[in-house]
Structure 1
Amino acid sequence: MTTDPALSEEEIARLADVVRLQPTKNKELQDAWGMESGSEVHQYLEGELSDYYYRDDNSLIRATPEAADLVDVEPGIEGGEENGGVPSVIRVPELESQVFAVVAGPEDRSESVVSVLNGIRGAFNADPPVEDVREALQSLRRKGVVEVIYRTVPTFRLAAQREAIDIEVTDD
């Protein structure tokens, strides 16, 4: 890890969040940083971290390779080239790991957010809010390990075999 003397401790910490959460959206960073709006996140990124991030073809926020060198965290995803674009390793908070463990497999019928919530309740004796489960599914979708199937309501299933992806739980 090298450090950029032009970046404050707060900027380094927030840059680490971008590296760890990528690919991410303003809303995820807003929640992580305790900001009032996605607009405030955008202004911060442009004003303080513009040299260290970019938006991909889907407008998701990603860290530059230089950003990853500046912070002492592993990127949120690794691999994907050899697995049809699906990452081989993802680093996620505990709820996302629980969602990953119970969501339908790639050959199974996709399931609703409520069905995934019920799976978490049964497998982990936990009762997260349904909105948190929805956000976890969307985050896993952005990471490329869950796909959405649109029926009457959006439903979800894994994009690859569960065994093909290593899940590492972060402290968040």
Structure 2
Amino acid sequence: MILSEEERERLADIVRLQPTKNKELQERWGMESGSEVHSYLEDHLADYYYRNDDSYICATPEAAELTGADPGLEGDENGVEIIRVPELEAQVFEVVAGPDERSESVVSVLQKVRSAFDADPEVDAVREALQSLRRKGVVEVVYRTVPTFKLAVERDDVDVEVV
């Protein structure tokens, strides 16, 4: 299936906004109704989206690959403005060292999550959360004896939405 420029741009919107609703796409695309969004999705992008268990619109992995867009990110050339992440990633983002602070190990971040929240994640889950945030461009890795992490952006410059 070959996509037009408009279809590719709208598919990239779905990738970045996922999970999203008809209403959000309606506003973004300047459409009259959620029904119009649904019809567009079915007529133009049926192979590249699905609805999750909560009926939110999500992009297929092929859609992300095709568009080159980053899932769950919104922003522009000035940087990331909104990230949509699972709860653990939101907690990690909240406690990891800031951009002007000394970077910290996975275990340090784990202890901060445990202390700040009523949570007891595994160290591997925190490592995965840090790596996911790194791929989103909001956390950076500093290599010392072990890889350490800190924010790559000011915490207040990014809105975090838990999905």
Q: What TM-score do you get using the length of structure 1 for normalisation?
A: 0.61
Match of residue 74, structure 2, among 50, 72, 78: 78
Partner of 2:128: 135
Instruction: Give CA deviations for 1:72-119 in whole Å, capped at 9, x if unaligned.
Output: xxx51111422xxx3011111100000000000000000000000000
Give the aligned residue type for 1:125.
D
Partner of 1:54: 65
Cα distance, 1:134–1:12 mapped onto 2, change above 3 Å: same
Q: Does 1:146 align with 2:139?
A: yes
- Aligned-residue sequence identity (percent) comes to 54
Aligned to 1:40: none
Structure number with greater Rg is 2
Per-residue deviation, 1:7: 3.6
Q: Confirm whether residue 16 of structure 1 aligns to residue 27 of structure 2.
A: no
Higher helix share: 2
Partner AA of 1:146 in structure 2: V
What is the rounded CA distance, in whole Å, between the counterparts of 1:142 and 1:53 in structure 2? 14
Alpha carbons of structure 1 residues 138 and 17: separation in structure 2 relative to 1, 3 Å: farther
2:92 match: 99
Letter in structure 2 aligned against 1:3: L
Alpha-carbon distance change, 159 to 3 in structure 1, aligned in 2, over 3 angstroms: same
2:111 aligned to 118, 132, 144, which one? 118
Q: Structure 1: where are the runs of 5+ without partners?
A: 19-44, 64-74
**Aligned counterparts of 1:62 and 1:81: Cα–Cα separation in 2:** 13
What TM-score do the two structures reach when normalised by structure 2?
0.64
Give CA deviations for 1:3-57 in whole Å, capped at 9, x if unaligned.
235847x962378154xxxxxxxxxxxxxxxxxxxxxxxxxx5xxx4xx34268x
Structure 1 segments, 4+ long, off by >3 Å, are 5-8
Is 1:164 aligned with 2:157? Answer: yes
Structure 1 counterpart of 2:33: none
Aligned AA (2:51): A
- The runs of 5 or more residues in structure 2 that have no matched partner are 1-36
Q: Distance in 1 between matches of 2:96 and 2:113?
A: 9
Of 155, 160, 169, which residue of structure 1 is paired with 2:148?
Answer: 155
- Name the SS for the 1:12 alignment partner: strand
Q: 1:13, 1:116 → 2: CA distance?
A: 34
SS at match of 2:104: coil
Matched length: 120
1:3 aligns with 2:41: yes
